Each structure stands twice: as structure tokens, then as C-alpha cells.
């Protein structure tokens, strides 16, 4: 049976070879280029968020297979952070995989990442903040694949219907908080009470971290303990409390929407702070008519978040040279340019941004410029635990049901109990 199958396979290949030789004549390029990695298999671990990303990934795989002659096996994760842990525990992780900047310190600490040499990742090619996000003690453990930043999205149709000029939209949080009630009143008149909210906000450290860290705020101590109830952090988070108090800011969940992008696309909110991944979705899927503005400044300083994903290499990989080759390939100017143009993400290299003429798109330029003032989503190995606890308790503090400080004290207590258990 097995032998039969093998024979069949050989016969098929032979036949295919004959056919190709017969048709193509001198066409050798199509059958696996340089061939030094022929017969090797590279397993990559990724997640896919949209059809565009799927297309982009298919292009990468095809290009790489053609270039090296190796085969690429793609493993698509649906719940990445859980599944990759299971794979790592079973010593069956892919040779290279996506890693979120927030998860990187954890992987690094577990010793599952291979340090990358300067030939594989030429650090000067990338935005410095992104390289820093994947470096520990002077060693680089990841190649930034792309980057996303937050910006303020405003629905033009809603502005028009409420007779509001885009220039009237405040540029600072201080002004925004004063302006929101009047804008909400106009929205209520135009659409009916409670139908459209002026602004979406999130109870999530991934969105709030840069505000929490303002003026020396330290939501997480150097030793990785939760420190959310510390004076400066509480003072900073009061901003969101004021925002909620306007009655015009809601979380997407409060109004029965999955996330900001859905709420904005469905016309339930007039403004949101969201990453550039929503840009193609709003354009193509929801066909929202919107303007992208820079993030609001607060206390005289602009801020936002940077989300970046890098390629990590498995320390136990058996095909490390091939894995290095993959990282070099996906980080090259031409490949990255094609990838970002397919997926609508922002490149991790400034030269690719110039090459792809991203500055010509006013909306994407806003996102690119945000790299300058934004904070990378990363804070040690306890961040996920602390964020879970934060999301659990911050709500009652922001709505004013309990003092913000005591809500955050509960969050600290719970997070630190969990952190202590791991000791």
C-alpha cells in the first residue's frame, strides 16, 4: 500500500517533469531557483486578520519558495497566545512565528527565541523604536514585520448632518472634554437620543498605557508588580473619568458593538481612536466617509500607541539557516513594499515608507507620523496579567461608582496575587 503510494508519487512527479520539460523548453526559473535549500521545509506560525493579509502571506510564501527552493508550511493560529504556548510546551513550535510586541518579553524570558545576527536583521534599516521593542541586553530577537499606530477617525457625514466643521473638532483632550457635550446634543437632535454617540473609548491598557505613563506615571513597577493605584497613574486616568462624565464617550461594548471599528463602521459613534488596520476596512467594507486626524494632545503633549509584530525564530529550530533566510527575505525592501501594499499595514522600515510613497496618502501619513510621538505596547512579562485585572475593575472607577483609586487598588491586589503565585 505504502509502496504503491510512493510509486504513484514518483510517477506523478516524473510525468509532471516530462510535461514541463516538453512545454517549457528552457524555462528553468519556474522550477525552484537557487535550490540550495531544496528539500528543506520551513514551518511558519502566523495569524490572519483579513483577506488582504491572507493574500499578502500567500505572496510571501510563493516568493520565498521560488527563491530558495524550500517548501513553506503555514500554520495559522486562531487564538495565538494560547496555541503557541501549547506548541512551545510540546517542543513543536514553528521555525519562525509572529510575535506581538507585548508578548515578546515573555517569549524571550522563556528562552525559546533565537538571537538574530546582524546579517539577518540589520538594525539600522528599521525604525529604532521597533527594533528596541524586540531587543534585550543588546541582542535582537525579532525582526519587526510591520507597525500600526493610533489616530483619530472622524465620520464626515455626521459632521455634515450636525453642521460641524472638521476644524471645529478639538485637537487637545482638554478642549475635547469641554466640546463633547455640545456635539453630543447636536447628534441627539440629528439622529435621535442615544442613537449615535460622539466618541468611542476603551477600557484597555493597550489603549490607555501612554496616558497612564504621563508625567512619570508608573503603572508597573520595575520588578513587574501592578502599581495601578499609584498617585500619578490615578491622576492620569482621571482623564478618562472626565471623558465618561461628558456622557458622550462610550465603550463599544456598552452599545453592543464588538470593537471600535465595528461601532464606527455601523454609524454608532462619530469619532474613535483606532489603528491603521481599520483604514482599508472602513473604506472597502463599511464605505464610511471619514477623515483621519492626529491623536489628541493632552497637557501639551501628543501621544498614542504603537503596535508592532515581529518575526521570531525558534531556538530549537532544525533549519535555522533557512529561517534566517526567511527573515531576510520578508524584511527586504521589495518584499516588504509589496506586502504592505497588499495588506494596508505600515512598514517597519522608513525607506519602504518612502519607496511606497505613503506620505502621499494624507490619512496614512497621519499614522506614519504617529510613530514619532507614540508609545510601544510593551511593558515586561506581567503586562497581560495586569491588563486582565485592569479591565476587570477599571469600569466601576471610571463610571464614578467607586473612587477610581479604590477600583485600581482592587485591580492591583488581584494582579499581584496572580504574579506572586508564579514565583
Partner 1 sequence: MMEKETVAGGKPTRPKKKFDRHRADAIQAYSFLAPAFLVILVFFIAAFVFALYMSFNKVNMYNNQYTFRGLQNYAEIFKDNIALTALKNTSLFSLVVVPCQTVLALIIAYALSSKGIRFKKLFRLIYFLPTLTSSAALTLIFMFIFNVNGPVNGFLTGAGWLTKPINFLQEPQYALKVIMVMNIWSTVPNFMTVYLASLVDLPDSLYEAAEMDGANAWQKLRSITIPYLRPITTYVLLMGIIGTFQMFDQAYIFSNGSGGPDNSTLTVALMVYQYAFGQMNTMGYACALALFLAVVIYVVARLAEKLNGGNGLANN
Quick check: 332 binds partner 1 (CB under 8 A)?
Answer: no
Return the number of the residue (356 or 415) whose C-beta is nearest partner 1: 415
Torsion of the alpha carbons at 317, 321, 326 and 329, rounded to the nearest 10: 160
| Neighbouring C-beta atoms of residue 137, cutoff 10 Å | 7
Quick check: 194 binds partner 1 (CB under 8 A)?
Answer: yes
Q: Among 299, 303, 259, which Cα is nearest to 177's?
A: 299
Q: Which three cell numbers stand for residue 268?
A: 454608532
Q: Which residues from 354-383 bind partner 1, rule CB under 8 A?
A: 381-383
Binding mask 56-95 for partner 1 (x = CB under 8 A): -------------------------xx--x--xx------
Return the number of the residue (84 or 295) whose C-beta is nearest partner 1: 84
Return the number of the residue (148 or 251) whose C-beta is nearest partner 1: 251
CB of 42 to partner 1, least distance (A): 22
Cα angle: 176, vertex 182, 184; to 5 degrees: 90
Secondary structure of residue 270 in the 3-state scheme: strand
Segments in 35-170 forming alpha helices (H): 51-68, 80-89, 104-110, 128-133, 156-161
Return the number of the residue (45 or 63) whose C-beta is nearest partner 1: 45
Quick check: 414 binds partner 1 (CB under 8 A)?
Answer: yes
Pick the stretch among 12-20, 303-311, 365-373, 389-397 that binds partner 1 (CB under 8 A): 389-397
Rounded CA separation 31/45 (Å): 25
In the set 24, 128, 258, 400, which binds partner 1 (CB under 8 A)? 258
DSSP codes, 309-336: EEEEEBTT-S-HHHHHHHHHHHHSHHHH
In the set 393, 408, 409, 416, which binds partner 1 (CB under 8 A)? 393
Which residue, chain included where needed, has cell 538571537?
115
Which residue, chain included where needed, has cell 495565538?
80
- Which residues lie near partner 1 (CB under 8 A)? 81-82, 85, 88-89, 103, 106, 110-112, 194-195, 250-251, 253-256, 258, 381-385, 388-389, 391-393, 395-396, 399, 410, 414, 417-419, 421-422
Amino acid at each position: 500500500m505504502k509502496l504503491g503510494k510512493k510509486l504513484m508519487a514518483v510517477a506523478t512527479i516524473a510525468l509532471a517533469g516530462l510535461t514541463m520539460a516538453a512545454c517549457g523548453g528552457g524555462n528553468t526559473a519556474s522550477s525552484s531557483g537557487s535550490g540550495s535549500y531544496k528539500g528543506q521545509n520551513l514551518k511558519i506560525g502566523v495569524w490572519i486578520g483579513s483577506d488582504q493579509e491572507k493574500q499578502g502571506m500567500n505572496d510571501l510564501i510563493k516568493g520565498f519558495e521560488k527563491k530558495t527552493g524550500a517548501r513553506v508550511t503555514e500554520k495559522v493560529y486562531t487564538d495565538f497566545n494560547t496555541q503557541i504556548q501549547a506548541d512551545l510546551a510540546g517542543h513543536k513550535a514553528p521555525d519562525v512565528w509572529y510575535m506581538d510586541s507585548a508578548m515578546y518579553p515573555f517569549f524571550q524570558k522563556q528562552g525559546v527565541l533565537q538571537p538574530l545576527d546582524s546579517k539577518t536583521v540589520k538594525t539600522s534599516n528599521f525604525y529604532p523604536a521597533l527594533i528596541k521593542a524586540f531587543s534585550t541586553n543588546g541582542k535582537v530577537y525579532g525582526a519587526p514585520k510591520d507597525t500600526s499606530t493610533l489616530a483619530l477617525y472622524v465620520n464626515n457625514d455626521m459632521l455634515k448632518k450636525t453642521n460641524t466643521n472638521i476644524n471645529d473638532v478639538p485637537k487637545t483632550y482638554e478642549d475635547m472634554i469641554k466640546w463633547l457635550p455640545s456635539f453630543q446634543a447636536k447628534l441627539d437632535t440629528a439622529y435621535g437620543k442615544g442613537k449615535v454617540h460622539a466618541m468611542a473609548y476603551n477600557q484597555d491598557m493597550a489603549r490607555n498605557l501612554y496616558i497612564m505613563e504621563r508625567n512619570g506615571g508608573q503603572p508597573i513597577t520595575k520588578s513587574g508588580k501592578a502599581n495601578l493605584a499609584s498617585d500619578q497613574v490615578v491622576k492620569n486616568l482621571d482623564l478618562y473619568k472626565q471623558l465618561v462624565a461628558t456622557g458622550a464617550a462610550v465603550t463599544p461594548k456598552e452599545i453592543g458593538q464588538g470593537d471600535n471599528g465595528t461601532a464606527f463602521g455601523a454609524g454608532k459613534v462619530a469619532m474613535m481612536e483606532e489603528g491603521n488596520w481599520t483604514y482599508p476596512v472602513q473604506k472597502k467594507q463599511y464605505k464610511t466617509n471619514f477623515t483621519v486626524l492626529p491623536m489628541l494632545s493632552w497637557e501639551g503633549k501628543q501621544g498614542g500607541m504603537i503596535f508592532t509584530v515581529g518575526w521570531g525564530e525558534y531556538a530549537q529550530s532544525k533549519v535555522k539557516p533557512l529561517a534566517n533566510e526567511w527573515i531576510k527575505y520578508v524584511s527586504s525592501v521589495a518584499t516588504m513594499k509589496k506586502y504592505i501594499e497588499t495588506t494596508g499595514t505600515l512598514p517597519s522600515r522608513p525607506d519602504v515608507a518612502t519607496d511606497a510613497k505613503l506620505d502621499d496618502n494624507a490619512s496614512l501619513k497621519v499614522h506614519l507620523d504617529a510613530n514619532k510621538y507614540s508609545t510601544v505596547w510593551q511593558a515586561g512579562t506581567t503586562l497581560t496579567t495586569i491588563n486582565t485585572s485592569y479591565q476587570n475593575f477599571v469600569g466601576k472607577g471610571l463610571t464614578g461608582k467607586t473612587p477610581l483609586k479604590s477600583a485600581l487598588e482592587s485591580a492591583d491586589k488581584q494582579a499581584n496575587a496572580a504574579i506572586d503565585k508564579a514565583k
